[in-house]
Structure formats: C-alpha cells, structure tokens
Amino acid sequence: MTLKNGNSYRESLKELNPEVFYLGKKIDDRLGYPSFLPHINSAALTYELANMPEYEELLTATSHLTGKKINRFTHIHQSTDDLVKKVKALRLLGQKTGACFQRCVGWDALNATYTVTYEIDKKNGTNYHKKFKEYLLYVQENDLMIAGAMTDPKGDRSLKPSQQKDPDLFLHVVEKNDKGIIVRGAKAHQTGIINSHELLAMPTLAMGEEDKDYALAFAIPVDTKGIIHIFGRQTNDTRRLEEGTMDKGNYKYGIVGGEALTIFNDVFVPWERVFMCGEWEWTGLFVERFASYHRQNYGGCKTGVSDVIIGSAVAAAEYNGVASASHIKDKIAEMVNMTETLYSCSIACSDQGHETDSGAYIVNPLLANVTKLNVTRYIYEICRLCHDIAGGLVATLPSEADLNNPQLKYLIEKYLKGVDNIPTENRMRIFRLIENMTGGTALVESMHGAGSPQAQKIMILKQANLKMKKKLAEDLAGIEKEK
C-alpha cells in the first residue's frame, strides 16, 4: 500500500463518474469545474500533508489490522492518544485551509460502524463486524476518502420514519434478495461527497421496531447506479465562476465542505457491503457513537479556522491603523480566549475517552457535546468581533473588476487607503477573506453541523448524572432520605 498524495487523489477521482447537478445543470467535469475546485483542493491537502515528514505524526497512523502506515483519516482510534492527535490534526488542517477539509464525517462513520457492528455481532451472532473489517482493509489499502451519510431529510419531524406520508423521506430497504438489498430515499448535507470515493450510510436517529426497514448501515461507491448528487449553494458561490481571486475570499479552499443532497433511486447494495439491516435496537447507540466522535471534531477544525479569523482581524486592525487601541486588543483577547476554550473542550473529551468492547476508543460523550454546544455560540461571537474590528467595508467593498478598471483603479486605491505603507489591494483582500469566512454558510454549518444545539443539550442532560449531583447537594445540606 502507498499513501496517496494530492495528485494521486485527484487522479483517483477520474476513475469515478458520479451524477452531479449544480444550479440546475449536470456537471460532467468535476475536477475542472470552478465551484468544486476549492473543495477538492482542501481534501487534497489531507493527502499532501500526510506525505510531509513534519506532519507525519499527526496525519498518519499505524493500522491495527495490518501494522502498515496509513492516512490517519482511515484509522480506527486505538487509544486516547489517537483521539488527542485527531484534534491536533484537525486544528492544523483548519489553519492550513481556513475551511472544511471534508474527511471527518467519513472518519467518524468508520469508527462508529466499527464499534457498533462489533457489539451487534457479540449480542446477535451476526457477521457485520467481519464484513466491515474487510471493507476497512479495502479503504486503508487504497487510502480512500469516505463520505459519511448520516442525515435524512426527515420530513415531518413529529412523525417516526414509518409514519411519514412519503416513506422515502428516510432512507430505507425496499427489497431484499440473495445478492443484497435495494434502498430508496436520500441523505442531506453530504459534506464532500462529490469528491469522495465511497459513502458510508448510517441510521439518522433512534428507531422502534416499526422502523426496522430504516435501520441501515452500508457502504457503496459514490457513483453507484441510481445515485444522484445535487450540489448545494453557498454564500456568494457564483463568484467562483468569475475571473480573478480577490472577490472569492478564500479562493483556494472555499468556505465549508461542498455539501450535497444525495438521492438513492432504488440503489443496489451487495450483502458484503451491508453492516446493519433491520437491527433497530442498535440505532440509538449508532447515532450516539457517531455524534460523539463528530462533535469532538468541532473544537479542532473550528479552532484552526478561528486562528485564521483572528489573524485576519489582527491584519485588518493593522491595515486600518488601530492595532494599538486598547479596545481592539481587548476584542482580540476575547477571540483568543473563546478559541482556546473550544480547543480545551475538544482535548478534554479526547483525553477522557475510553475503550469500547471492540478495542477501539470513544471520546467522553458528555464533554464532546459540551464542545459542540460551545461552538454554536462562540463561533458567532468570534465572527462578530472580527466584523467589529474590521469595519463596514467587509460588506460594501467594490469588486476586483472595479479595481482592475483603469478609470476606477486610482480612485479606489486613493479613497480606500488605510495605513500609508499597506497597498489598498492588500486591505481589500483581507476584507474579502473576512467576508468569505464569517458569512452565512459557514455560521449555519457551525450551528447545525454534527447536530443542532438542542441535540447537544439532550445528550448533555442524558450524560450529566443529575441524580448524583443532587445527592452531593443533599449530603452537604444534611438531608437524609427516608429508607
């Protein structure tokens, strides 16, 4: 096995031909299409850095199945040290890209499926874990990028999957035969799926026996017959179709993860790729495991992105000539404090992780949910402070085309000048980066990625052991319970 690099990753995508639509049109050339390139570049960096000696410790690991060196994004965590390295790797990549590098969802799906299939087999005598380990070997040997497919459209949230008027609003089995299953439905918010090699589908919520046809986990290539990907819109996304780089902000790596709505039109899945089919009793654990892994991530990747936002605020303050003002320093200190708080939460939930029955390690679920709940608040505040520091030009800046217009160039350079020794173009580029990184799409992803704030609160209360806390208070207050 050879680790892929950025170029071999891009070449491997040419072997796949998924059906992708964007802005109402079918896109055949994914690798050359301007709207997709930043996401491909961001994912490619996870391969590139893994081949650099200075990043080897964080971005590679030793497979517990083969003893070979693998990309860490295909690794099953074998210790709390692995969980901590995961967070450090995500912060590094957030710093390098300023965006989503897309491989976390699939990585978390691999680990959740590994641990849960082991426990299903142990209880039920099935062979899901054996099949999954064979699939995992294939993923590691070929250094594949996996898209984790968790979220269903859900329809009427007050109804269970089996109660929906349209049964396809949750992905479900429509037929079984001796070769495999046929599934129909959709998965929403599919991060990085159009530039992934495979998708790994999982149940989206805890289910009852009446929902057993929806209790599914399986893996197939993203270009399997019957799959359609509808690429979602992002803030100012048509700027990627324009010439130049300035107005695109983070022009090389984009904003978030290139999400898509993925439709399954009677898609065949062979039995060797099916890792759950009808075991509704295990759906709650599956969701909890995946969510815990995924909520851990946000104190890593989002702190890396926040490092870039803080840096852009510092640059904007310097370019505006206000870097020495005490209120600017105070705001930057607040941004740093919130960023490091998020990182501390993520490191803590990793360090306090534990071994599962399968031998793989899971994070502390309470602290993982605290991490993500804090992200839903702090990222908004970090972005607000950055807007406060930078000023109104973030929202009203003329375009790069205006700057390149000979009639306007002198006027823009004259009237948008800040500190005298800073070129006006540099100031404009920082403002565009701030606009790009702190705009609507990125904030919504911080709020709802890995589940909404309410989902974290539910898990926090579930894990908080409030009875124990109540007893602590009653003991100290001298309250004795009647026997």
Active-site residue, 298 included: yes
| Catalytic annotation, pick one of 151, 294, 371, 376 | 294
Q: Can 448 be counted among the known catalytic residues?
A: no
Least confident of 213-217, 352-356, 475-479: 475-479
Check: CB of residue 169 under 8 Å from CB of residue 131.
Answer: no
At 444 the pLDDT is: 84
346 pLDDT exceeds 90? Answer: yes
Candidates 100, 349, 383, 386; catalytic one: 100
Whether 191 has a binding-site annotation, put simply, is yes
Residue 281 annotated among the catalytic residues of the structure: no
204 part of the active site: no
Q: How confident is the model at residue 115 (pLDDT cuts 50, 70, 90)?
A: very high
Cα dist. 25→28, 231, 241, 242 in Å?
Answer: 10, 10, 14, 18
| Average pLDDT score over residue span 313-323 | 97
- E strand segments, 319-421: 354-355, 361-362
Give the C-alpha separation, 212 to 394, whole Å.
50
Indicate which residue of 277, 301, 345, 383 is catalytic. Answer: 301
Q: What is the pLDDT of residues 266-278, one digit of tens each?
A: 999 999 999 999 9
Of the candidates 116, 80, 166, the residue with the CA atom closest to the CA atom of residue 348: 80
Residue 6 has pLDDT above 80, yes or no: yes
- Residue 451: predicted pLDDT: 87
pLDDT tens-place string over residues 190-244: 999 999 999 999 999 999 999 999 999 999 999 999 999 999 998 889 999 999 9
In this structure, the strands spanning 19-22 and 25-27 are antiparallel
Catalytic one among 46, 117, 191, 262?
Answer: 191
Nearest to 210 by CA among 251, 170, 242, 254: 170
Catalytic, 349? Answer: no
Cα 185 to chain centroid, rounded: 22
In the 8-state DSSP scheme, what is residue 398? P
| pLDDT > 90 in the chain, percent | 93
Q: By percentage, how much of the chain surpasses pLDDT 70? A: 99
Mean pLDDT to the nearest integer, 409-414? 98
Numbered ranges of CATH 2.40.110.10 in the chain: 6-285
DSSP per-residue codes, 152-200 = ---SSTTS-GGG-SSGGGS-EEEEE-SSEEEEEEEE-S-TTGGG-SEEE
451 vs 24: which has the higher pLDDT: 24
The pair of three-digit structure tokens given for residue 282, joined into one six-digit string: 């295990």
Catalytic site includes residue 383: no
User: Which amino acid belongs to residue 211?
Assistant: D
pLDDT of amino acid 1: 59
Fold held by 6-285: Butyryl-CoA Dehydrogenase, subunit A; domain 2 (2.40.110)
pLDDT at 483 exceeding the cut of 80: no
In degrees and rounded to multiples of 5, residue 149 shows phi and psi of: -110, 95
Q: What is the pLDDT of residue 446?
A: 84
What stretch of H or E contains 38? helix 37-50
Residues of the chain with CATH 1.20.140.10: 295-473
Specify the CATH number of the domain 295-473: 1.20.140.10
| Catalytic residue, candidates 9, 47, 298, 343 | 298
pLDDT tens digit string along 457-468? Answer: 999 999 999 999
Note if 301 is an active site residue.
yes
Is 294 labeled as catalytic in the residue annotation? yes
Q: What is the overall mean pLDDT for the chain? A: 96
Helix-, strand-, coil-residue percentages of the chain, each rounded to 5: 55, 15, 30
pLDDT digits (tens, 9 = 90+) for 376-403: 999 999 999 999 999 999 999 999 999 9
